[in-house]
Amino acid sequence: MNIHKVFPILLVAALAIGACAPAAEVVETEAPAAPAPTATIAPEPTAEPEMAMADKDIVDIAAEDGRFTTLVAAVQAAGLVDALKGEGPLTVFAPTDDAFAALPEGTVEALLADIPALTNILLYHVVEGKVMASDVVELSQAQTLQGQYLDISVEDGKVMVDGAQVILTDIEASNGVIHVIDAVLLPETRDIVDIAAEDGRFTTLVAAVQAAGLVDALKADGPLTVFAPTDDAFAKLPAGTVDSLLADIPTLTDILLYHVVEGKVMASDVVGLSEAMTLQGSAAPITVQDGAVYIAGAQVVLTDIEASNGVIHVIDTVMIPE
């Protein structure tokens, strides 16, 4: 029985007994009786909230909080409620209503009408496991349930996740933890070919891919890992080499496929490998020298450019299979 209901009954009973008893006896019974309700009530306010909080999952907390109405509506529309109510544990970087309101006008409505895109974005906010704030600040990346990685950094004492600031941390739930962010995270929607074409440093590589008829292969779902030589890398080849390759499609295809690895191999994985099997069929050797990573003699100068279907690592030399 609830102690707040019991207390008034005990009080009435005590008063009734006191009214009937002789004056001398009232003093004797009231002195020991007074501490009894106090001793029983004291732990009650602490025990009830702790038990209630332990029973709330990520969705329940977000729904009851009041700052995440758009997020909760999006989760419901995408059919992800059961997933976020599962045992987990999960870590959710939760954008506030203000974060959604900051998106271009009409974006939320468009996403609610495009469930696959909405689902993709929502899963980009969820990381497997319970990653507390003390763990987040030690990371540079975290893989999301959407498949792509979040970039994590600490700038001027502020924790940033893909450009969004973490403004509140460690809201614990029965199945994980919530960190509040001030912007909606948007995963990369461009594929490997689109990114290379728009970058400006890979015009020769893109032209070669088009000439070899590999555009569709590099636009496929993948995932794929491409070690992409820059225009400067192609320029280092002996004079006339590029023209010769563009006239010899089988050889050009062979070389291009030597730059592609099946699967999404992030930089943190590359440094742990001694070689990587390419789509050309040969293994490209990988070494680390003085902190620099080399693959088939080419130095990796930029890493982890994520695409919707994989990742690009930039290299300074065209790799030639033996």
Q: Work out whether the CA dihedral 49, 51, 53, 55 comes out positive or negative.
A: negative
Give the pLDDT of residue 308.
Answer: 93
Looking at the structure, tell me whether residues 211 and 239 fall in a common domain.
yes
Cβ-proximal residues to 200 (8 Å cutoff; 6+ apart), any chain: none
Give the pLDDT of residue 88.
Answer: 83
Looking at the structure, tell me whether residues 203 and 306 fall in a common domain.
yes
| Domain boundary pick from 50, 70, 85 | 50
- Give percent of the chain above pLDDT 70: 83
Give the pLDDT of residue 33.
Answer: 46
- Please state, in angstroms and rounded to a whole number, the distance separating the CA atoms of residues 217 and 220: 5
- Please state, in angstroms and rounded to a whole number, the distance separating the CA atoms of residues 219 and 309: 7
Looking at the structure, tell me whether residues 107 and 145 fall in a common domain.
yes
Confirm whether 37 is domain-assigned.
Answer: yes
SS3 of 44, please? Answer: helix
Q: Residue 300 is part of a domain; what is its CATH number?
A: 2.30.180.10
Average pLDDT over residues 177-205: 96
pLDDT tens digits along 262-311: 999 999 899 999 999 999 999 999 999 998 999 999 999 999 999 999 99
Structural domain that includes position 230:
192-315
Confirm whether 277 is domain-assigned.
Answer: yes
Phi, psi of 19 (to 5 degrees): -70, -35
- Statement: residue 14 has pLDDT above 70: no
The answer to whether the beta carbons of residues 59 and 72 sit under 8 Å apart is yes
Q: What is the pTM of this model?
A: 0.74
Peptide bond into 321 cis (omega under 30): no
Type of residue numbered 285: P
| Domain boundary pick from 119, 154, 181 | 181
Looking at the structure, tell me whether residues 136 and 208 fall in a common domain.
no
pLDDT tens digits along 89-137: 999 999 999 999 999 999 999 999 999 999 999 999 999 999 999 999 8
- Domain count along the chain: 3
Looking at the structure, tell me whether residues 159 and 76 fall in a common domain.
yes
> In angstroms, what CA-CA distances link 9 with 6, 13, 45, 271?
5, 6, 20, 72
Give the pLDDT of residue 138.
Answer: 87
| Domain boundary pick from 134, 153, 181 | 181
